[in-house]
Structure 1
Amino acid sequence: MSDLKWGILGCGVIANEMAQAFEKMGRKVYGVSSRTQTKTEAFAEKYGVENVYGSYEEMLEDENIDVIYIATPHSQHYENMKKAIGAGKHILCEKAITVNDHQLEEIVSLAEEKNLTVREAMTISHMPLFKELKDRIDKGDIGTVKMVQVNFGSNKGYDSTNRFFALEAAGGALLDIGGYATTFARTFMDEAPNTILTTVQYVETGVDEQSGIILKNESDQMAVICLTIRAKQPKRGVVTGDKGYIEVYEYPRASKATITNTETGVTETIEAGRTEDALVYEVEAMEGTVSGTFSDNNLEISRDVMKILSSVRTQWGMKYPFE
């Protein structure tokens, strides 16, 4: 069992899930902090967190904390991470890790200077199923990958006071759900795209309501991504090769997929990992990276995805007020 001590910043839904992941692992979170002291104290009592701090700065001053899990809204991630790095903490940050590629590149540079680990808490990077699917592709099970299709749509209704629809909070579909879809696409493309095409429709508040994104790389692999924030879509990803295709539903935390051989018509079900352990896998990967016993391309994929999302917004001409 790792002896790394974790501090959680934020007490929202995903922070609760992370605390529950620690409980599954037979461990407790060392410390917690948020903007609201009453919520922080209630969170600590619920999960048996040892240390409650009156501010984020106070938590960062605790030399016992090794890793900070950032579970604040993504518009705050950049500033949160800069302060955590300044305090010498390793970071696991919720998606979207930053709001643009310039922010992320600065964070990566600052972390490298201090030999600190930064990872994005992107479930797709951690679910065992995706490693199994990549292995099957490497073995030639679907032939050469040609096309990836990804859908993600939620219907949040319309509430101009909700952060999902607030431009000043980096709201909209792209950073809320687009990171999942783009990560899925990039995971199954052999290299980052060098062609990015897109179109968008806006909500009254100025954030993106729905969009289409087409990616193409130098290997002539393509990806088509469809995002909506006021129309429900299945979370469906399809990876198509010249000999078959892989289909994954509920892909952000998927534990099951099907592989269809288009030459024989035979379909096989692949299962790996457990959906309910998604955040446990994130903790294990983070701690393995810090200790040097584990390595993967989590940060590389995150950097490529953020460059794609930034290029998309540049083409739209959409900027957040704080940029």
Structure 2
Amino acid sequence: MLDTEKNAPLDAAAAASAAFAAVEGQAFPDDVFNAPELRWAVIGCGVIANQMATSLALAGRHLRGVANRTRDKAVAFAERHHVARVYDTVEELYADPEIDAIYVTTPHNTHIRYLRAALAAGKHVLCEKSITLNAAELEEARAIAREHGVVLMDATTILHMPLYRELLRRANAGEFGRMNLAQLNFGSYKEYGDLTNRFYNINLAGGAMLDIGVYALSLMRLFMASQPNEVVSLGNLCETGVDVAGGIVCRNAEGQLGVVSLTLHSKQPKRAVISFDSCYVEVSEYPRADTATIVWTADGRRETVSAGTEGYALCYEMADLERAVAGDAEAAGLIDVAADVMELMTRLRADWGVVYPEER
């Protein structure tokens, strides 16, 4: 086998399976969940819901309930993951006083419907990316959360991985000097043969921006001092009306640049390079990364930084919500980053003419 074949990046599902296998049988770290435990339920029982249940099991915890559009699938999910209760309707879930927090894992275009009801029912919500279709929906959801005194959190893994928390700590302490440029690639190859699949289906809020762009823009925004106020871009659409590729250049008031390339129809490395005065930081497979390389400007020295573990990515998300509920300001503030990213994505889609049925 050629080295290029042996080392080829795995697709998302295979990578997650490999990450879980790597930590199977290991003692779960005692520094992940450090806030009072919440009682969790999930809406949806697809790939992410299964990963969530597996993640909780790694920590010796279990979901308390599941609701799904198809009850038979919910029953099978509950049996597989030892979930105590299957709800006949989401309304039953919202009304259950034994549930504190809900993870919404359904398609993008359904999120706001569940967010409105769950938050109004007094449940804390962790919502899978993209958290909403657009900035207006997210602001509506945040207003409901504020009104009812609950926490709304975006589940984009970039916001929660310990690696980025450690790198940001060092950057904010001045170790790296001024941040100048963030360059991010994200490319997947999805066949055009079936344009009804979720990636290309406008009725399922398909497209590169909400599916993969959210990762790149989230990482870019994390390391910028402020929200970009200048944005230029080009986007390619397919016949269904969704974006399949895009090139984006952003600049904020501090003059920091972000350069992002996205595609759903060509494989690219998921590679991020954040350039500072004193070094650049390189991260491969960055959505759930636990390792980065710092290359120092003065002498070319390479430093490896490791924090967290890829296999616990969804645990970090849930732990952050529990910390936010307990009053942790840093965790609670992650929704502000998510709001900036959503504003950028909404602006870019408008520039490209990508409009979902719910927005017409």
Same fold by TM-score greater than 0.5: yes
Counterpart position of 1:319: 355
Question: 8 Å contact 1:152–1:228 — kept in the other structure?
Answer: yes
Counterpart position of 1:85: 119
Amino acid of the structure 2 residue aligned with 1:199: L
Residue among 58, 61, 68 paired with 1:27 = 61
Instruction: Tell me the number of residue pairs that the alignment of Structure 1 and Structure 2 aligns.
Output: 323
Question: 8 Å contact 1:141–1:244 — kept in the other structure?
Answer: no
Question: 8 Å contact 2:37–2:322 — kept in the other structure?
Answer: no
- Structure-to-structure mapping, 1:121-136, within 5 angstroms: 121-136=155-170
Amino acid of the structure 2 residue aligned with 1:245: Y
Amino acid of the structure 1 residue aligned with 2:136: H
TM-score when scaled to structure 1? 0.97
Calculate the aligned-residue CA RMSD, in Å: 1.2
TM-score when scaled to structure 2? 0.88
Residue among 139, 157, 175 paired with 2:173 = 139
Residue among 131, 150, 153 paired with 1:119 = 153
Residue among 197, 201, 205 paired with 1:166 = 201
- Once the two structures are overlaid, the 10-residue window that deviates more, 131-140 or 182-191, is 131-140
Amino acid of the structure 1 residue aligned with 2:339: R
What SS is found at the alignment partner of 2:340? helix
- Structure-to-structure mapping, 1:212-231, within 5 angstroms: 212-231=247-266
Alpha-carbon distance in structure 2 between the residues aligned to 1:319 and 1:110 = 25
* Residue 281, structure 1, aligned to residue 316, structure 2: yes
Residue among 233, 237, 257 paired with 2:272 = 237
Question: 8 Å contact 1:82–1:107 — kept in the other structure?
Answer: yes
Counterpart position of 2:15: none
Q: Please list every run of at least 4 consecutive aligned residues from structure 1 whose deviation after the TM superposition is greater than 4 angstroms.
A: none
Q: Any unmatched runs of 5+ in structure 1?
A: none
Residue among 250, 268, 271 paired with 2:285 = 250
Task: Give the superposition deviation at 1:3.
Answer: 4.1
- Structure-to-structure mapping, 1:173-184, within 5 angstroms: 173-184=208-219
Task: Give the superposition deviation at 1:243.
Answer: 2.1
Q: Percent identity?
A: 45
- Structure-to-structure mapping, 1:10-49, within 5 angstroms: 10-49=44-83
Deviation per CA, 1:167-190: give whole Å up to 9, x if none. 121101000011001001001101
Deviation per CA, 1:74-133: give whole Å up to 9, x if none. 111011100101211110000000010000001101110111100011111111110111
Alpha-carbon distance in structure 2 between the residues aligned to 1:283 and 1:139 = 27
Alpha-carbon distance in structure 1 between the residues aligned to 2:154 and 2:253 = 26
Task: Give the superposition deviation at 1:140.
Answer: 3.3
Question: 8 Å contact 2:40–2:63 — kept in the other structure?
Answer: yes
What SS is found at the alignment partner of 1:81? helix
Alpha-carbon distance in structure 2 between the residues aligned to 1:4 and 1:246 = 35
Residue among 278, 289, 299 paired with 1:264 = 299
Residues 293 and 208 of structure 1: is their aligned pair in 2 closer, same or farther, counting only changes over 3 Å? closer
Amino acid of the structure 2 residue aligned with 1:218: A
Counterpart position of 2:190: 156
Task: Give the superposition deviation at 1:262.
Answer: 1.5
Alpha-carbon distance in structure 2 between the residues aligned to 1:134 and 1:86 = 34
Q: Any unmatched runs of 5+ in structure 2?
A: 1-32
Alpha-carbon distance in structure 1 between the residues aligned to 2:330 and 2:223 = 18
